[in-house]
Chain A
Protein backbone atom coordinates (compact mmCIF):
# COMPACT_ATOMS: atom_id res chain seq x y z
CA UNK A 1 0.00 0.00 0.00
CA UNK A 2 1.12 3.52 -0.68
CA UNK A 3 2.21 5.57 2.28
CA UNK A 4 2.88 9.26 2.72
CA UNK A 5 5.15 10.47 5.50
CA UNK A 6 5.36 13.95 6.93
CA UNK A 7 7.88 13.59 9.71
CA UNK A 8 7.71 17.14 11.09
CA UNK A 9 4.52 17.74 13.07
CA UNK A 10 5.13 21.47 13.47
CA UNK A 11 7.17 24.24 11.91
CA UNK A 12 7.47 27.97 12.40
CA UNK A 13 8.61 30.71 10.05
CA UNK A 14 9.13 34.43 10.32
CA UNK A 15 6.89 36.56 8.17
CA UNK A 16 8.49 37.30 4.77
CA UNK A 17 10.94 34.42 5.15
CA UNK A 18 11.03 31.13 3.25
CA UNK A 19 10.06 27.76 4.70
CA UNK A 20 10.21 24.23 3.31
CA UNK A 21 7.81 21.49 4.36
CA UNK A 22 9.01 17.93 3.82
CA UNK A 23 7.14 14.93 2.49
CA UNK A 24 8.23 11.47 1.42
CA UNK A 25 6.12 8.72 -0.05
CA UNK A 26 6.38 5.09 -0.93
CA UNK A 27 4.98 3.53 -4.08
CA UNK A 28 5.83 0.94 -6.69
CA UNK A 29 3.88 2.79 -9.36
CA UNK A 30 5.50 4.92 -12.05
CA UNK A 31 2.41 6.97 -12.92
CA UNK A 32 1.07 9.00 -10.03
CA UNK A 33 0.29 12.47 -8.79
CA UNK A 34 1.29 14.42 -5.73
CA UNK A 35 -0.53 17.23 -4.01
CA UNK A 36 -0.19 19.72 -1.20
CA UNK A 37 -3.38 20.77 0.54
CA UNK A 38 -3.74 23.61 3.01
CA UNK A 39 -6.20 23.47 5.91
CA UNK A 40 -6.60 26.82 7.68
CA UNK A 41 -8.46 27.14 11.00
CA UNK A 42 -11.72 27.27 9.04
CA UNK A 43 -11.05 23.54 8.31
CA UNK A 44 -11.62 24.00 4.58
CA UNK A 45 -9.26 21.86 2.50
CA UNK A 46 -7.63 23.98 -0.20
CA UNK A 47 -5.47 22.64 -3.02
CA UNK A 48 -2.14 24.46 -3.02
CA UNK A 49 -0.21 22.70 -5.75
CA UNK A 50 -0.18 19.54 -7.85
CA UNK A 51 2.68 17.63 -9.47
CA UNK A 52 2.49 14.92 -12.12
CA UNK A 53 5.15 12.25 -11.65
CA UNK A 54 5.90 12.05 -15.36
CA UNK A 55 6.87 15.72 -15.42
CA UNK A 56 10.46 16.53 -14.55
CA UNK A 57 9.75 20.21 -14.12
CA UNK A 58 8.79 21.21 -10.61
CA UNK A 59 5.35 22.77 -10.24
CA UNK A 60 5.03 26.37 -9.08
CA UNK A 61 2.03 28.47 -8.05
CA UNK A 62 2.96 32.04 -7.20
CA UNK A 63 4.84 31.89 -3.85
CA UNK A 64 4.49 28.11 -3.64
CA UNK A 65 6.83 25.71 -5.36
CA UNK A 66 7.80 22.09 -4.98
CA UNK A 67 11.03 20.15 -5.09
CA UNK A 68 10.06 16.82 -6.62
CA UNK A 69 12.74 14.14 -6.43
CA UNK A 70 11.21 11.05 -8.04
CA UNK A 71 14.09 8.67 -7.39
CA UNK A 72 14.23 9.68 -3.74
CA UNK A 73 10.40 9.70 -3.51
CA UNK A 74 10.52 13.13 -1.98
CA UNK A 75 8.07 15.99 -2.51
CA UNK A 76 8.75 19.11 -0.47
CA UNK A 77 6.80 22.37 -0.52
CA UNK A 78 8.60 25.69 -0.43
CA UNK A 79 6.70 28.77 0.63
CA UNK A 80 8.46 32.01 -0.23
CA UNK A 81 7.78 35.41 1.33
CA UNK A 82 5.64 33.81 4.04
CA UNK A 83 2.49 35.66 5.02
CA UNK A 84 0.36 35.50 8.14
CA UNK A 85 -2.39 33.92 6.06
CA UNK A 86 -0.12 30.97 5.31
CA UNK A 87 -0.52 29.75 8.89
CA UNK A 88 -2.38 26.46 8.59
CA UNK A 89 -2.03 22.71 8.59
CA UNK A 90 -0.51 21.39 5.37
CA UNK A 91 -1.11 17.92 4.05
CA UNK A 92 0.91 16.09 1.44
CA UNK A 93 -1.13 13.64 -0.62
CA UNK A 94 -0.52 10.93 -3.20
CA UNK A 95 -2.89 9.83 -5.96
CA UNK A 96 -2.62 7.30 -8.77
CA UNK A 97 -3.17 7.60 -12.47
CA UNK A 98 -6.08 6.90 -14.79
CA UNK A 99 -8.29 4.01 -13.84
CA UNK A 100 -7.61 4.34 -10.15
CA UNK A 101 -10.34 5.33 -7.76
CA UNK A 102 -9.02 8.88 -7.49
CA UNK A 103 -8.37 8.16 -3.84
CA UNK A 104 -5.77 10.33 -2.23
CA UNK A 105 -3.51 8.96 0.46
CA UNK A 106 -2.69 11.73 2.91
CA UNK A 107 0.19 12.29 5.26
CA UNK A 108 -0.47 13.16 8.88
CA UNK A 109 -0.03 16.85 8.24
CA UNK A 110 2.25 19.58 9.50
CA UNK A 111 1.15 22.65 11.41
CA UNK A 112 2.82 25.80 10.13
CA UNK A 113 2.84 28.93 12.26
CA UNK A 114 3.95 32.32 10.94
CA UNK A 115 5.54 34.79 13.35
CA UNK A 116 4.84 38.49 12.69
Chain B
Protein backbone atom coordinates (compact mmCIF):
# COMPACT_ATOMS: atom_id res chain seq x y z
CA UNK B 1 0.00 0.00 0.00
CA UNK B 2 1.31 3.43 -0.97
CA UNK B 3 1.74 5.48 2.14
CA UNK B 4 3.62 8.05 4.15
CA UNK B 5 4.40 6.87 7.66
CA UNK B 6 5.17 9.18 10.55
CA UNK B 7 6.31 8.31 14.05
CA UNK B 8 5.49 8.97 16.76
CA UNK B 9 1.83 9.82 16.25
CA UNK B 10 1.61 11.41 19.68
CA UNK B 11 4.36 12.79 21.87
CA UNK B 12 4.51 14.85 25.03
CA UNK B 13 7.94 16.19 25.88
CA UNK B 14 9.59 18.92 27.91
CA UNK B 15 11.35 22.08 26.85
CA UNK B 16 14.89 21.48 25.62
CA UNK B 17 14.73 17.72 25.20
CA UNK B 18 15.81 16.90 21.66
CA UNK B 19 13.38 14.85 19.63
CA UNK B 20 13.04 13.46 16.13
CA UNK B 21 9.87 12.80 14.20
CA UNK B 22 10.50 10.22 11.51
CA UNK B 23 8.88 10.17 8.09
CA UNK B 24 9.12 7.44 5.50
CA UNK B 25 7.42 7.01 2.12
CA UNK B 26 7.28 3.92 -0.08
CA UNK B 27 6.30 5.58 -3.37
CA UNK B 28 9.78 6.51 -4.60
CA UNK B 29 8.84 10.19 -4.49
CA UNK B 30 11.61 12.72 -5.01
CA UNK B 31 9.84 15.51 -3.15
CA UNK B 32 9.17 15.49 0.60
CA UNK B 33 8.06 18.23 2.93
CA UNK B 34 7.07 19.00 6.51
CA UNK B 35 4.11 21.14 7.49
CA UNK B 36 2.76 22.22 10.82
CA UNK B 37 -0.92 22.81 11.43
CA UNK B 38 -2.11 25.28 14.05
CA UNK B 39 -5.69 26.40 14.77
CA UNK B 40 -6.65 29.41 12.71
CA UNK B 41 -3.42 29.30 10.71
CA UNK B 42 -3.94 26.36 8.37
CA UNK B 43 -0.86 24.40 7.31
CA UNK B 44 2.49 26.09 6.98
CA UNK B 45 5.56 24.61 5.36
CA UNK B 46 8.60 24.08 7.60
CA UNK B 47 11.17 22.47 5.28
CA UNK B 48 11.19 20.67 2.00
CA UNK B 49 13.48 18.43 -0.01
CA UNK B 50 13.63 18.08 -3.77
CA UNK B 51 15.85 15.00 -3.61
CA UNK B 52 18.52 13.24 -1.57
CA UNK B 53 20.88 15.71 0.08
CA UNK B 54 18.81 18.65 -1.23
CA UNK B 55 16.82 20.49 1.42
CA UNK B 56 15.59 24.04 1.83
CA UNK B 57 13.63 26.21 4.21
CA UNK B 58 9.91 26.72 3.98
CA UNK B 59 7.95 29.49 5.64
CA UNK B 60 8.53 28.61 9.30
CA UNK B 61 11.91 26.83 9.62
CA UNK B 62 13.09 28.37 12.91
CA UNK B 63 13.78 25.76 15.57
CA UNK B 64 13.75 22.82 13.17
CA UNK B 65 16.29 20.79 11.24
CA UNK B 66 15.88 18.14 8.58
CA UNK B 67 18.04 15.71 6.69
CA UNK B 68 17.56 13.67 3.53
CA UNK B 69 20.19 10.96 3.41
CA UNK B 70 17.92 8.43 1.76
CA UNK B 71 15.17 9.02 -0.76
CA UNK B 72 12.47 7.40 1.35
CA UNK B 73 13.22 9.11 4.69
CA UNK B 74 12.90 12.72 5.78
CA UNK B 75 13.15 13.13 9.56
CA UNK B 76 12.23 16.35 11.34
CA UNK B 77 14.52 17.24 14.22
CA UNK B 78 13.74 19.59 17.08
CA UNK B 79 17.09 20.22 18.74
CA UNK B 80 15.68 22.18 21.70
CA UNK B 81 11.89 22.11 21.62
CA UNK B 82 9.95 25.02 23.04
CA UNK B 83 6.25 25.34 23.91
CA UNK B 84 5.55 27.35 20.74
CA UNK B 85 6.41 24.21 18.78
CA UNK B 86 3.39 22.46 20.21
CA UNK B 87 1.51 21.61 17.06
CA UNK B 88 0.22 18.96 14.67
CA UNK B 89 2.92 18.00 12.20
CA UNK B 90 2.45 16.50 8.77
CA UNK B 91 4.97 14.93 6.47
CA UNK B 92 4.05 14.85 2.80
CA UNK B 93 5.59 13.55 -0.40
CA UNK B 94 4.97 13.79 -4.11
CA UNK B 95 6.49 13.17 -7.48
CA UNK B 96 8.62 16.16 -8.39
CA UNK B 97 6.80 18.19 -10.96
CA UNK B 98 3.76 15.97 -10.84
CA UNK B 99 2.12 14.05 -13.63
CA UNK B 100 0.86 17.21 -15.30
CA UNK B 101 4.08 19.15 -14.87
CA UNK B 102 2.86 21.12 -11.92
CA UNK B 103 3.07 20.31 -8.25
CA UNK B 104 2.23 16.68 -7.84
CA UNK B 105 -0.51 15.46 -5.56
CA UNK B 106 0.80 15.66 -2.06
CA UNK B 107 0.43 12.42 -0.11
CA UNK B 108 0.22 13.16 3.58
CA UNK B 109 1.14 11.10 6.58
CA UNK B 110 -1.38 10.72 9.38
CA UNK B 111 0.08 13.52 11.44
CA UNK B 112 2.10 13.70 14.66
CA UNK B 113 0.62 15.54 17.60
CA UNK B 114 3.49 17.11 19.57
CA UNK B 115 3.09 18.80 22.93
CA UNK B 116 6.03 20.62 24.50
CA UNK B 117 5.63 21.44 28.19
Contacts and interface: CB of A to CB of B under 8 A. Distances in A.
Interface of A: 4, 6, 31-33, 42-45, 47, 50, 52, 91, 93, 95-98, 100-104, 106-109
A102 B108 contact: no
A102 B104 CA distance: 7
A97 B90 contact: no
B31 interface: yes
Given A45-B90, A108-B40, A101 B101 contact: no
Contacts of B94: 102
B43 A50 contact: no
Interface of B: 31, 33, 35, 40-45, 48, 50, 56, 58, 88, 90, 92, 94, 96-98, 100-106, 108, 110-111
Contacts of B92: 45
Contacts of B104: 102
> What 6 pairs between A and B have smallest CB-CB spacing?
A95-B103, A45-B108, A106-B42, A102-B103, A106-B43, A108-B42
Contacts of B101: 97-98
A44 B42 contact: no
Contact of B43 (A31, A52, A91): A91
Given A45-B90, A47-B106, A102 B98 contact: yes
A90 B102 CA distance: 22
Nearest to B58: A103
A76 to B, nearest CB: 17
Contact of A33 (B48, B56, B102): B102
A91 B50 contact: no
A107 B42 contact: yes
Given A44-B108, A44-B110, A98-B97, A104 B42 contact: no
A31 B102 CA distance: 9
Contacts of A45: 90, 92, 106, 108
Given A102-B97, A104-B106, 16 more contacts: A6-B42, A33-B102, A43-B88, A91-B43, A95-B103, A101-B31, A101-B50, A102-B31, A102-B33, A102-B48, A102-B98, A103-B48, A104-B45, A106-B35, A106-B44, A108-B42
